[in-house]
Every structure is written in structure tokens, then in C-alpha cells.
């Protein structure tokens, strides 16, 4: 993970919502993680921005 990567937990704290909602949005948008390669979401700055925009509209 690089210093630019963000996790759903990071965004959940920032946005004041449950990380499960963020992960559900990520699965709907990007599909499921490939469990043989990836064990957790590590979002690029662009992906994190999409999550922020989505949940800002939802509030």
C-alpha cells in the first residue's frame, strides 16, 4: 500500500458512515476483490474521490 492509498475504513471515519456501506458501493462499482490476490480494498485517489462524491450526494 502506498501513502496515497485509502481504505474503506479510512473513508468511513472521514465520512461518518459504516465501512460496510462503502464496501458495498465498491463491490457494486468495481466488482468483488480477487481473494487469491487481494485481501482488502486499497483505493487510488480517484476511487476515493468517487466514494466521497457518491456519499456526499447520498447525505
Residue 2 within any structural domain of the chain: no
Q: CA-CA distances (angstroms) from residue 1 to 17, 40, 41? A: 23, 10, 10
From CA 20, how far away is CA 26, in angstroms rounded? 10
Residue 44 within any structural domain of the chain: yes
Q: Are 7 and 40 in contact (CB under 8 A)?
A: yes
SS3 category, 47: helix
State residue 6 phi and psi, 5-degree precision. Answer: -125, 145
Task: State if pTM tops 0.85.
Answer: no
Residue 17 within any structural domain of the chain: yes
Residue 1 within any structural domain of the chain: no
Residue 3 within any structural domain of the chain: no
Could you read off the pLDDT tens digit of each residue along the chain, which spans 59 residues? 555 689 999 999 999 999 999 999 999 999 888 777 777 899 999 999 999 999 988 66
Per the structure, how many domains does the chain have? Answer: 1
Residue 24 within any structural domain of the chain: yes
Amino acid at each position: 500500500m502506498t501513502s496515497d492509498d485509502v481504505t474503506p475504513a479510512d473513508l468511513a471515519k472521514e465520512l461518518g458512515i459504516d465501512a460496510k456501506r462503502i464496501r458495498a458501493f465498491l463491490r457494486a462499482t468495481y466488482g468483488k476483490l480477487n481473494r487469491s490476490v487481494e485481501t482488502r480494498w486499497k483505493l487510488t485517489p480517484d476511487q476515493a474521490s468517487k466514494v466521497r462524491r457518491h456519499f456526499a450526494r447520498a447525505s
